[in-house]
Amino acid sequence: MRILIYGLNYAPEVTGVGKYTAEMAELLATHGHEVRVICAPPYYPQWRVHEGYRAGQYQRETLRGVSVWRAPLWVPAQQGGLKRIVHLASFALSSLPLLARLAAWRPQAVMLILPTLFCAPGALMLARAVGARSWLHIQDFEVDAAFDLGLLRGGQGSRLGRAALAGERWLLRRFDVVSSISARMVERAIDKGVDASRAVCLPNWVDTRAIFPLPYPSAFRRRLGIPQDNTVVLYSGNMGAKQGIEILADVATALASRPDISFVFCGDGAARRELLARCEPLSNCHVLPLQPSSMLNELLNVADIHVLPQRNDAADLVMPSKLTGMLASGRAVVAMARPGTSLFDVVSDHGILVPPEDGAALAAAIVDLAGDPARRAALGRAARRYAKRMLSPQAIFDVLEARLAGLAGEVPESAGQTQVEPPTAVSGASSAQQGAGQSANQPARQTGKGGSTLPEVEQSDV
């Protein structure tokens, strides 16, 4: 089957959406499909175009058997509401010539990855022009997030908000298939007007053969000079607006009097600079740059406790992809989530939950687990079992391929519908892998008083 995947982010980005889009394309290619990708130059999560690529040029390359066509993109040095819109729109406009060029290839399926919705009109027009089926895969409800996180002013009840939501609803209803990464996010798509028969739950995944509990202390503990009997609290992932990174600094400050508890924060993003500044005077903190993907399992295993902060206004909008790596590593997880969200559903049986933005509750949960190794071990075993049972890459890919075959008329379309995932099997996948990865030529530092210097190397999402 000829499949065109169209989305902003792609490899060699190895955190967030780009990681999963690339893995999906590569899996489809290895299963005999002819896959082409239209994307932007890699820039995430540093918000700088990677070395070897140029923001203002069209480029073409082949990565792991997939033909990749890159369109120019404007990347702002600082992110804000209007700048973010221009950033997304620049790719939507610059990629139109590539859509026109690949129309001659006559793809049988056009799959758009969200963000960004700005690309939806072009994807739908191409599918209509060549007689292809259209598929929308939602990693993030960007319209809701833009208003709820304050990137756009006025709120969803304003004239701008009503217009944006109406446009989103109109576009979503025109795709043949709409998928998202958790059951709750699929429900939200249906609430926005997507017919339930067209909705598919397609979670992110984690390779439990690559991420697993180590039988010995992680090398990071020794490199950072953390005593063997200390409890290590790890956050590894994107450091952006939706993550509530400032809460981590609050908690580390509140527990500065506990020399037996060490914090390791690893990743990159817009909020990293502020985190560095706040952690600089703290002897219990180690702030690391993105690490190589080859070190991902070592990184996740330095944790005795994984923490997953969340802003209250983002709690219903995202299913953090970093969660799957946390679960697969077999360590205790403390997450901020509200009842009724996908994150709450997953962690409730396999970890500890505290309210979003409640730093005192997070600190208390960390202190409780630090004093209870047996409970930490039990939670870690439960998390590992869940990851192995529910987040298998092959099981999720089978759903994808079955639905594609249904679109092509090879099997009944019901093979890939919403019921494919049990009610508790909601997304995850490893943005927690996000701590791994970065451009190999950038000098890297470990910041904070408690540890040694580590090299910053090739970006890789964990």
Structure tokens at 79: 């992110």
The per-residue pLDDT for range 5-34, each reduced to its tens digit, is: 999 999 998 778 998 999 999 999 999 999
Q: Which domains does the chain have, with CATH numbers?
A: 2-206+392-420 (3.40.50.2000), 219-390 (3.40.50.2000)
Structure tokens at 346: 């997953």
Compute the C-alpha angle 300/337/21, nearest 5°. 55
Report the alpha-carbon distance of residue 405 to residue 399 in Å, rounded.
10
The per-residue pLDDT for range 410-447, each reduced to its tens digit, is: 644 444 443 334 333 333 333 444 444 443 333 334 44
| Reported confidence tier of residue 292, pLDDT bands at 50, 70, 90 | confident
The per-residue pLDDT for range 187-220, each reduced to its tens digit, is: 999 999 999 999 999 989 998 999 999 999 999 9
Structure tokens at 34: 């002819």
Task: Please tell me the predicted confidence (pLDDT) of residue 458.
Answer: 28
Report the alpha-carbon distance of residue 342 to residue 304 in Å, rounded.
24
Residue 22 and residue 54 in contact, taking contact as beta carbons nearer than 8 Å: no
DSSP-assigned letter for residue 42: P
| Reported confidence tier of residue 315, pLDDT bands at 50, 70, 90 | low
Give the amino acid at 422: P
Task: Please tell me the predicted confidence (pLDDT) of residue 290.
Answer: 85
How does the average pLDDT of the chain come out, rounded? 85
Task: Please tell me the predicted confidence (pLDDT) of residue 122.
Answer: 98
Residue 259 and residue 285 in contact, taking contact as beta carbons nearer than 8 Å: no
- Measured from the Cβ of residue 62, the count of other Cβ atoms closer than 10 Å reads 8
Task: Please tell me the predicted confidence (pLDDT) of residue 142.
Answer: 86
C-alpha dist (Å) from residue 211 to 23, 203, 293, 295, 309: 16, 17, 11, 10, 21
Which range is least confidently modeled, 57-61, 299-303, 421-425? 421-425
Compute the C-alpha angle 232/234/238, nearest 5°. 170
State the pairing for strand pair 66-70/59-63. Answer: antiparallel
Residue 411 and residue 264 in contact, taking contact as beta carbons nearer than 8 Å: no
Report the alpha-carbon distance of residue 111 to residue 132 in Å, rounded.
10
The per-residue pLDDT for range 125-182, each reduced to its tens digit, is: 999 999 999 999 999 888 887 776 666 666 677 888 888 899 999 999 999 999 999 8
Residue 312 has pLDDT above 90, yes or no: no
Structure tokens at 388: 């192995």
Burial of residue 53 (CB within 10 Å: 0-12, 13-18, 19+) is middle
Q: HEC profile for 336-371?
A: ECCCCCHHHHHHCCCCEEECCCCHHHHHHHHHHHHC
